[in-house]
Amino acid sequence: MTATVRRLYDRARRAPFWQQAVAVFLLAVLATALFSVAADAQSAGKAKVAPLKEMTKGATNARVTVVEYGSVTCTHCAHWYTTNWPKFERDYIKTGKVKYVYREVATNPAQMAFGVYMLGHCAAGKSNWLGQKGGTKAYFTVIDGFFAAQSKIYETGEAEPVFRSLAAKAGLNQSEADNCLKNEDLFKAISARMEANMNRDGVEGTPTFFVNGKRVESDYGAIEAAIKAVK
C-alpha cells in the first residue's frame, strides 16, 4: 500500500460509519489502481498528465471573481450548491457579472472526492471526433452531477452507479473511466495542486469563499454583499 493510499485509508477509518460505507468502492479502485500503475510503468511507462487548468464558469473578463474552495463529499458544500447555486448562476454567472472558480478540496471520504475530480479532469481533457476537448463543460458535468446526487449516495451507499453515469454523461466510456481512476500521475497532480492552493490561501475548511481575493463568509448574503461592494 502506498503512503498516499494508506493516509486515505486511515482517514476513512476515522470517519463515521456511513462515510466508510460509501467510500469502499473508490478506495478499492484507487488502491488497486496505484498498484497496477506501478507495475505497468515498467513496461508501458507512466501516463503523462498535462498541467491542470483552473476550472471556471462565467465571463473570463468579469470585474468580480468568486473563488470557492469546495469538496464534492462535503455535505455543507452540497447544501450550498442545491440551495444557492441556481440563483447565483442566474444573477451573476449568466449575466457575465462574475467569474466563478472552483478549487478542489477532498474531505472525508477523501478517496471518493479524488475519484470525482479525476473523472472530471479526464472528461475535460478528452477530445471528440472534431478534436474539441470536453473542457470545463465536461468537468462540471461530473462535479455538479455529484453534488446533486450526494444525498442519495449517502442514503443508499451506492456510489458506483453514480460514477458510471456521470462519466458517461461527461463523455467517458467505461474503459476510459476505469483507466482514468488508474492514473497515478493525475492523482498526484490533483493532490499537489490542492495542497498548494490551500496552504497559500490558508484554507482549512469547506466551503470557503473569496471575492476578488478577500475571504468572505459562506453565507449567500455575505457573498452577494461583497460582490455588490466591488466598484
pLDDT digits (tens, 9 = 90+) for 82-115: 999 999 999 999 999 999 999 999 999 999 999 9
For the chain, give the percent of residues with pLDDT over 90: 74
The confidence score (pLDDT) of residue 37 equals: 41
- Give the chain's domains with CATH numbers: 3-228 (3.40.30.10)
Candidate from 36-45, 62-71, 187-196 with smallest mean pLDDT: 36-45
| Long-range CB pairs of 16-24, under 8 A, 24+ apart, other chains included | 18/154, 18/157, 19/73, 19/108, 19/109, 19/154, 20/109, 21/157, 22/109, 22/112, 22/153, 22/154, 22/157, 22/159, 23/108, 23/109, 23/111, 23/112
SS3 52: coil
The per-residue pLDDT for 26 is: 54
DSSP state of 57: E
Q: Does the pLDDT of residue 201 top 60, yes or no? A: yes
Q: Give CA–CA dist 40/183, Å, rounded.
A: 11
In 3D space, the residue among 206, 120, 207, 214 whose CA is nearest the CA of residue 163 turns out to be 120
Q: Give the dihedral of Cα atoms 191, 220, 213, 60; nearest 10 deg.
A: 80
Based on the number of CB atoms within 10 Å of its own CB, is 11 exposed (0-12), middle (13-18) or buried (19 or more)? middle
Residue 124 pLDDT > 60:
yes
pLDDT at 31: 47
